[in-house]
Structure 1
Amino acid sequence: MNRHTPHRNSRLTALTGLAIASIALLTACGTTTSGSTKPTASAPTALGANEGAVSILAWPGYVEDGSNDPTVDWVSAFQDETGCKVTSKTYGTSDEAFNLMKTGDYDVVAASGDASLRLVAAGDVAPVNTGLIPNYAGIYDFLKLQAWNSVDGVSYGIPHGYGANLLMYKTDVVTPAPTSWDVVFDKSSAYKGKVTAYDSPIYIADAAMYLMKHQPDLGIKNPYALDEKQLAAAVDLLKQQRPNIGEYWSDYLKSVQSFETGDTVVGTTWQVIRNSLAAGTPAEVTVPSEGVTGWSDTWMIASKAAHPNCAYAWLNYIASPKANAQATEYFGEAPSNQKACEFMTDPNQCATYHAGDADYASKIWYWTTPIAKCVDGRTDVTCTDYAAWTTAWQEIKG
């Protein structure tokens, strides 16, 4: 996710070819036998001396030290300030990150909401004492203690950046301008072969969100909390959509190209894809009446981190206004720190990504790992977990 500017071309290249893969072995890892997330380690009450090193697992573009682009470096300042030498590895999918964290090789992981609760449930990440992270106070309140980054009121990480999965359409083809996701669901046949959708089991939530409004009798209150009947309805909708999909995308550079050539005319997108289109491409994005899904990534600490003090130092640093601005602007998303906008090089960055706009953020259903314990609060049913969603996604795609 980045904007199409010269100093971020390496970011686009780094993500080219990354595919969203569904890994079948993610069965009961997201829940205990009782269907709830299980506790891991306890959060520290005090920090000791920095250990001199920290190992970080993150999305490409989150841990830049100047080696990809000499002008893009927020790691060196951290190392100079803390004495913690950073080693990092990038991953291409949330499933990959989940499995890499099991190796025990990493102190810190940047996790999206479709992985975070799985990491908690598997015991791979620990609760975080936000009182030991001074810059946590500067994070937007609407990102704190949410379903994707906390359990039972206990924080499991620090919000990094966030964004929405928008509806994009070619204005010269899709008329009138759409106001509903019906153009990719119930009315998608009008654009058969030129509809696009995000390639991941988590996309099932987009169908569930649509059904919340159009089939209220299903009783869906949260698109990530689906019982078997609700999941079946979402799967049926996606199977009906399937013949009209021209391409499922995970590599957003290909999505950019597809909209530019006209092979795609309507579907799920990110703001950065719209911003990356060639000048003059007749395309716009919108937040449909049903709302949107989206992501809010979280910096989390391994439950058995070899360098816990440096891990806390990293979380505090990356949440600081300047570092948060550098990282989220390069990546192409809204920052989490309230003062980050003061450090953006692009004066339009925060307006473009609706940074700090609580009303806009309230329309986003942020990716949250489906688990058996219904995240909508229901206790009279068991919800379907990520493994069930993975199986369903394989059936949908055929």
Structure 2
Amino acid sequence: MKRYSENRRGRLPSAVLTGLAIASVAVLTACGTTQGGGGGSEGPKAADELGKTEGAVSILAWPGYVEDGSNDPAVDWVSAFEDETGCKVTSKTYGTSDEAFNLMKTGEYDVVAASGDASLRLVAAGDVAPVNTDLIPNYEGIYDFLKMQSWNSVDGVSYGIPHGYGANLLMYNTEAVTPAPTSWDVVFDKSSEYKGKVTAYDSPIYIADAAVYLMAHQPDLGIENPYALDETQLAAAVELLKEQRVNIGEYWSDYLKEIQAFETGDTVVGTTWQVIRNSLAEGTKAEVVLPEEGVTGWSDTWMIASEATNPNCAYEWLDYIASPEANAQATEYFGEAPSNQAACDFRSEGSCESFHAGDADYASKIWYWSTPIAECLDGRTDVECTDYSAWTTAWQEIKG
């Protein structure tokens, strides 16, 4: 696995638009294709059929998602797409979900790869169109447990194609942390035992990790979804994280820094990604576990701009990148599980196993990143939930 210095660095936004009313988002459509019924002036809607490809497509994505051989001649799945479709690819990478959200407003991009903490914002802002999955043959091969989820669909309408997914796991030094942990308590209630050597992800979305822990250990709080916290529930999560703060050695957002910290022993326990464990120097005494309380994680989605200049080539890209071969290349290079169930046939031996690809039971334990909004994502209507702006303020308070 290549250590890619920009991989997933700063994936999460520093602030989020408030008051998103997801329920009011209209069914969208891709510009320049034959349109179906419904939507009208309420917003764009999904395409009924595709037309002639335009010869170009502009893509906005995380680093490592759109590789054409220019970074590494051996890493190229874009050239085959261009040869097959005649659609010339131009791409731009971004470092945070906020950056992607703002760049999509320029109208310069046909396609974006969005994480769950950005996807619903893009939908609510009308910047992306719903996707007619009947026009994407490779959609059929996507794992069912990734389809039509809260971060890639609204009111039964698909807004994109799942790309890859992963979990925010617990990593621990096997000599310093004994017995082998099975719970997140080693970074919360028992974190004082490892004072100064505990690490946590540096982002307001990490509040959801505390909420997952509280769901199991303080059920009286009534948390049903870690991204749907009312003021009382958020306050409880903040208090837990303040207690943890005094034992944190450092927070991390650049995964290379966490690799170094575990290799040197400066960090002995904390939240991580499987790719980080896989990238540790040989002999590093560290292992990962999915704790009994469950975990947060990510599932990225390829989405089409509502005013795409090249919507037909955009559909071609979504179908291509969801194919077993391309999905295998892109997700293995980045370090995550693929979304296409046949992709493992094209990945290196043991790669899919290390990321638990296709394990629906494993995936069911992951609470995928979603943007907290005032309209409670757990379905409650008798209370208003805290939105991401409140989480951002809370995170600043936690870190001091």
TM-score by length of 2: 0.93
What is the CA distance between 1:37 and its match in structure 2? 5.0
Q: Structure 2 matches for 1:270-349, cutoff 5 A? A: 270-344=273-347, 346-349=348-351
Paired residue for 2:25, among 13, 38, 41?
Answer: 38
8 Å CA contact retained: 1:110, 1:298 = yes
Q: Structure 2 matches for 1:1-398, cutoff 5 A? A: 3=1, 8-9=2-3, 12-15=4-7, 18-19=9-10, 22-24=13-15, 26-28=16-18, 31-32=20-21, 36=23, 38-39=25-26, 40-344=43-347, 346-398=348-400
What is the CA distance between 1:19 and its match in structure 2? 3.9
What is the CA distance between 1:333 and its match in structure 2? 0.6
Structure 2 unaligned spans of 5+: 27-42
Letter in 1 for 2:379: G
CA pair 242-20 structure 1, distance change in 2 beyond 3 A: farther
RMSD over aligned Cα, in angstroms? Answer: 1.4
- Residue 275 of structure 1 aligns to a residue whose secondary structure is helix
8 Å CA contact retained: 2:23, 2:154 = no
- Give me the whole-angstrom Cα distance separating, in 2, the residues matched to 1:68 and 1:62: 12
- Give me the whole-angstrom Cα distance separating, in 1, the residues matched to 2:346 and 2:199: 35
Deviations 1:266-289 (A, max 9, x none): 000011111111111111100111
Deviations 1:24-59 (A, max 9, x none): 4x332x613xx7452242011111111111110100
What is the CA distance between 1:23 and its match in structure 2? 3.5
8 Å CA contact retained: 2:7, 2:334 = no
8 Å CA contact retained: 1:21, 1:93 = yes
Q: Across the two proteins, how many residue pairs are aligned to each other?
A: 384
What is the CA distance between 1:240 and its match in structure 2? 1.1
- Give me the whole-angstrom Cα distance separating, in 1, the residues matched to 2:288 and 2:360: 19
- Give me the whole-angstrom Cα distance separating, in 2, the residues matched to 1:301 and 1:197: 33
What is the CA distance between 1:200 and its match in structure 2? 1.2
- Residue 47 of structure 2 aligns to a residue whose secondary structure is coil
8 Å CA contact retained: 1:37, 1:117 = no
CA pair 23-167 structure 1, distance change in 2 beyond 3 A: closer
Deviations 1:170-227 (A, max 9, x none): 0110111111101101111111111111111111100000000111000000101111
- Residue 45 of structure 2 aligns to a residue whose secondary structure is coil
- Give me the whole-angstrom Cα distance separating, in 2, the residues matched to 1:235 and 1:14: 29
- Residue 297 of structure 1 aligns to a residue whose secondary structure is strand
Deviations 1:226-269 (A, max 9, x none): 11111111111111111111111110011000000011000000
8 Å CA contact retained: 1:31, 1:37 = no
Deviations 1:331-365 (A, max 9, x none): 11100001101111x11011111111111111111
- Give me the whole-angstrom Cα distance separating, in 2, the residues matched to 1:337 and 1:19: 26
- Give me the whole-angstrom Cα distance separating, in 1, the residues matched to 2:101 and 2:372: 14
- Give me the whole-angstrom Cα distance separating, in 1, the residues matched to 2:238 and 2:169: 21
8 Å CA contact retained: 1:164, 1:271 = yes
- Residue 79 of structure 1 aligns to a residue whose secondary structure is helix
- Give me the whole-angstrom Cα distance separating, in 1, the residues matched to 2:56 and 2:82: 9
- Give me the whole-angstrom Cα distance separating, in 2, the residues matched to 1:262 and 1:361: 30
- Residue 5 of structure 2 aligns to a residue whose secondary structure is helix
- Residue 13 of structure 1 aligns to a residue whose secondary structure is coil
TM-score by length of 1: 0.94
8 Å CA contact retained: 1:31, 1:38 = no
Letter in 1 for 2:229: L
Identity of aligned residues (%): 79
- Give me the whole-angstrom Cα distance separating, in 1, the residues matched to 2:109 and 2:11: 22
Deviations 1:58-100 (A, max 9, x none): 0000000000000000000001111111000001111211111
What is the CA distance between 1:378 and its match in structure 2? 1.3
- Give me the whole-angstrom Cα distance separating, in 2, the residues matched to 1:373 and 1:138: 33
8 Å CA contact retained: 1:207, 1:238 = yes
Structure 1 unaligned spans of 5+: none
